[in-house]
Chain A
């Protein structure tokens, strides 16, 4: 097949010696009617790094993953996986990567083992290696006792584990996890996070995970990029992103307009640019002045507080400050 051969040649030509496992430059996707899903984003993910794409529904995370996995054509810009350009060498880019999709993709009427065999075969794993590799990965992911059953009989958590095992069978250099725990109950979600956290230790790979569960990103990721309306509005390690807030924040639920109260605090020099208001809730870094001074000042404005909390800053604070909206838990992009 001429296309495949020429693409393979292009793949070799496109290879780079850079250390970035995922390199994205000026990546843009515009749908008809001028819908700008992704507006020219740039980021790099180093080999072995776990990188998170955070954002609410419609932020452009899934479109970005779609372009990186060659199921969506970029309008402009470039992206490469392990040095293979996703547009000029899509076969090679797909060969070095694997995806755990947001929704199940396994064939429910086939057994778990047969699903893994099909995936291994499509990713050109040598037939002599398929059996041992399935056994090894199934053991590591905890699905070894389920393999001979039809997938239709699996629970949601078991099916998710199988999906992860499936994605690992080809030993991908880059693994995409698209909202891996969405729709799962808290216990299964916690178990699955353990599995995902263990992936890097067991299997040498780069992981790009999209999520709107910020605790998940905080736990799993070396760095995160926050996406908002198709743009990356921040990109750093979770600790660095939280660092801007200092050691502690004061969270106040007031009776009345949060933005108005925030404006007065800022005018009096008691709140800096890291403070933000969502509805009637104010979040203000305490800095060196302490929570009591802030609280007294708020009360001196005649504003009544309904609840007061001091706590260390979280990635939620970073996200809410940057995007000005809460993440819809459990919602799909």
Chain B
């Protein structure tokens, strides 16, 4: 075998490449992998739909609550759906790591923060789809919402920011936890326990005073209050948190809380990914 001393032409990779360009590729890849496993889309929907369509009407009739209680719980289950779906989406990070695909992505000429952001795009899209299904079946069950343009905007902003924050939390957890089994074991604590405390089935004021105060610090409490304000035009949950007169002011403050949660978690997700993926 002869030695080769071929002169190498000077390398000039494109300098003005759009750094966001590969985001679409990453998101498409994640979406195709997710769509290939429909149960990942459907499983997180099962419990919220069960609550909205079966348990809420049953509680209404058993406890003789008003008919609006069904709508209260149906919207409250959004607070279960988002954490469940984002935590399930976070599992894909561990799957990529264990199956080796993450090494390929890390060796690609793309800024590494795009890798968690590509996953985030799909987590947001699938969550939006699931929320639409949930609200659709609630409507079909004659659980009526009170929709206005401004209400929808509050709802969309709160839903989006809370989903982004929860996905960030899922990425952080996936980066820190070595195995899928350990990750799954943490899901109830992250996705389900807060839901019971955040005013999803009853007002936070129904709880002992100490717990009420603690729930005011949960981003989910603020997210749910905004969802109900947006979809039911019901500011009661916002009043329970802030006790102010200005509904818009309270909504803006809660949105700020969710936005800060979202930004902190996204930054943490990118940081944890960068630190754990590259040794």
**Contact of B278 with A222 in the complex, beta carbons under 8 Å:** no
Interface size for A (C-beta < 8 A) is: 61
Expressed in whole angstroms, the Cα–Cα distance for A173 and B9 within the complex equals 10
A166 → chain B, closest Cβ, in Å? 8
Q: Is the CB of A124 within 8 A of B8?
A: no
Q: Are B279 and A20 in contact (CB under 8 A)?
A: no
Docked Cα-Cα span, A122 to B68, in Å, equals: 50
Does A258 lie at the interface of the complex (its beta carbon under 8 Å from any beta carbon of B)?
A: no
| A8 on interface, CB distance cutoff 8 Å | yes
Question: How many A-B contacts at CB < 8 Å in the complex?
Answer: 150
Give the distance in Å from the alpha carbon of A15 to the alpha carbon of B7 in the complex: 15
B25 and A118 contact, CB distance less than 8 A: yes
Given A46-B6, A72-B278, A118-B29; A11-B13 close (CB under 8 Å): yes
Tell me if B15 and A11 are in contact (CB < 8 A).
Answer: yes
Digit string of B214-227 for contact with A (CB within 8 Å is 1, else 0)?
00000000000000
Chain A window 11-28, contacts with chain B (Cβ cutoff 8 Å), 1 for yes, 0 for no: 110010111110000000
Q: How far is the CA of A179 from the CA of B30 in the complex (A)?
A: 28
Do A110 and B11 touch across chains, with their CB atoms under 8 A apart? no
Query: In the complex, what residues of B have CB within 8 A of residue A3's CB?
Result: 111
Instruction: Give chain B residues whose Cβ lies under 8 Å from the Cβ of A124.
Output: 14, 17, 21-22, 109
Contact partner of B100 (CB less than 8 A), chosen from A47, A66, A84, A104, is A104
Return chain B residues, CB-CB under 8 Å to A15: 10-12
Residue from B25, B99, B278 within 8 A of A121 (CB atoms): B25
Q: Is A98 an interface residue (CB 8 A)?
A: yes
CA distance A222 to B3 in the complex (A): 5
A47 touches B7 (CB 8 A): yes
CB-CB < 8 A to B206: which residues of A?
A: none
- Give complex CA distance A99, B101 in Å: 12
Q: Which residues from B are CB-within-8-Å of A83?
A: 10-11
Show the binding face of A for B, using Cβ within 8 Å. 1, 3-5, 8-9, 11-12, 15, 17-21, 31, 46-50, 66, 69-73, 82-84, 91-92, 94-99, 101, 103-110, 114, 118-119, 121-124, 166, 173, 206, 221-223, 237-238
